[in-house]
A = this chain, B = another copy of it.
């Protein structure tokens, strides 16, 4: 996959700055990709070796003083496939270089701090790929819909997020923000599948059906959040996610593009290679 192809995905999926209307963004299309499911899966598999190589270079740089790191933020409604995406994409690279955090409802300790406290503690260190399965955006999504904080506090958070993400970017963090965009009907099908299959019952939560009643409120909260935090240093991508194979391919392409954009190289040796070789070959 050339970097031109990768740029094609980024260009097609990156949300233009300005007001956002999610109803105008399709959930079942395959932007920047012409093939079907079989071709999409092959294309994803073909990305594996380059993704793994670049991840190892990133890791090697982190071990030798480099500051670069990558943060993938996955957001989306229930069943949009955050976990499946993560497994299909980040699962292609060495798990030692990946730091995954799944954010649940905040604990009492977390609620006692500013909303960015817990995400700050979960950041990748240099050389790592960090993944947030849900994130600080929940605090302006469910936080807004379910009025978990006063309106003025919700309002304050958009700028706080932008300031925090800008500081991260300045410190070497490449931020890739993805909203997995599914239709309300696709969600219904996926919830029904969880009910139909005993091996999926553990994933079902009756509360998920209640949340469907306020689907338009969540959509509006996403639109506001994306518009107000769609910055140059941390832009938003909306991924049509009704087709799982496309969703996986698209996120993998965005990851690959982000890694390519870091201009990574193998670190130089900080020792004399020849004298070390001689030491080894002449040891007792």
Contacts and interface: CB of A to CB of B under 8 A. Distances in A.
Interface of A: 60, 63-64, 83, 86-87, 90-91, 94-96, 98, 100, 102, 133, 188, 191-192, 195, 198-199, 201-204, 206, 209, 212-213, 266-269, 271, 273, 276-277, 279-281, 283-284
Given A191-B280, A209-B279, A279-B209, A204 B271 contact: yes
A-B complex: 6 closest residue pairs judged by Cβ atoms? A201-B269, A60-B202, A202-B267, A199-B266, A95-B95, A87-B94
Contact of A63 (B195, B202, B273, B277): B202
A228 to B, nearest CB: 29
* Copies of this subunit: 2
Contacts of A202: 60, 63-64, 266-267, 269
Contacts of A98: 95
Contact of A96 (B86, B268, B284): B86
Nearest to A210: B279
Given A83-B96, A87-B96, 20 more contacts: A64-B202, A86-B95, A86-B96, A90-B95, A91-B91, A91-B95, A95-B95, A95-B100, A191-B280, A192-B281, A195-B273, A199-B266, A201-B266, A201-B268, A201-B273, A204-B269, A204-B276, A206-B279, A209-B276, A209-B283
Nearest to A192: B280
Contacts of A198: 266, 269
Contacts of A268: 201
B133 A195 contact: no
B95 A212 contact: no
B102 A280 contact: no
A274 to B, nearest CB: 9
